[in-house]
Amino acid sequence: MLPDRPEEFFGTGTARKFHYSREPFRRNLLIAVLLTLVVYGLAWLLLGIAGFQNRTLHALATGFVFFAFISFRMIQQYLSQDVVMAVQPTGLYDSRLGSELVPWDGIKELVVIQRETEVFLHVERWPLKDGTARPGRELNLSLLDGDAGVIIEAIRAYKPVRLDR
């Protein structure tokens, strides 16, 4: 959970803040609508074969439930104006890593990975004091409103980033 006063978390320095981009949301929403129409059509056909009287109503309900399940989190992210990633002098915050700021000295290695048209940042953290390893996480930079190059340059100001080839 973020503090009540954002300046406590993000500080008053030169934090670069990034949100989810609207373009991937629109594309994913279109895909969700098309998949929902396919599910609706299949349900309508199968209910017709089975001889249901109100197959249109049942198929609509099936399509609605399907759409709700596949798009709930996506719509929630779109409507939220929360900061997804913040690059600041004290560390890296990413809501996908957790609700805490990760100090730069708590990060073992940062690696940029490009897969087709998407760019990921692999974050490898140091083990806990008791020796428990922390799994590395890949963060999709292509989903954010900033260009991946801009985000990487903002991070490079505080921590080296290796490019995976």
Read off the pLDDT of residues 29-87 as tens digits, 9 standing for 90 and up.
999 999 999 999 999 999 999 998 899 999 999 999 999 998 888 888 778 778 899 99
Q: Are residues 57 and 109 in the same domain?
A: no
Asked whether 57 and 44 are in contact (CB, 8 A), the reply is: no
- pLDDT of residue 1 exceeding 60, the answer is no
Helix axes of 22-50 and 55-79: crossing angle, nearest 10 degrees: 170
In a domain, 90, yes or no: no
41 and 71 share one domain: yes
Same domain, 152 and 105: yes
**Does residue 72 sit within a domain?**
yes
Shared domain for 75 and 107, answered yes or no, is: no
**Mean pLDDT for the chain?**
87
Q: How many domains in the chain?
A: 2
pLDDT at 8 over 90: no
Pairing of strands 107-115, 162-163: parallel
Residue 7 covered by a domain: no
* Beta carbons within 8 Å of 17's beta carbon, 6+ residues apart: 10, 83, 85, 86
Domain residues for the domain of 108 are: 96-163
The conformation of residue 157, written as its DSSP 8-state character, comes to T
Q: Is residue 3 in some structural domain?
A: no
Count of CB atoms within 10 A of residue 100's CB?
A: 12
> In sequence order, what E strands does the chain have?
16-18, 85-88, 91-94, 102-103, 107-115, 118-125, 137-140, 162-163
Q: Are residues 103 and 157 in the same domain?
A: yes
Note whether residue 5 is domain-resident: no
pLDDT at 4 (0 to 100) = 42
Residue 11 maps to a domain: no
Residue 89 is assigned to a structural domain of this protein: no
Tokens 């004290």 found at: 90
**Residue 40 belongs to a domain:** yes
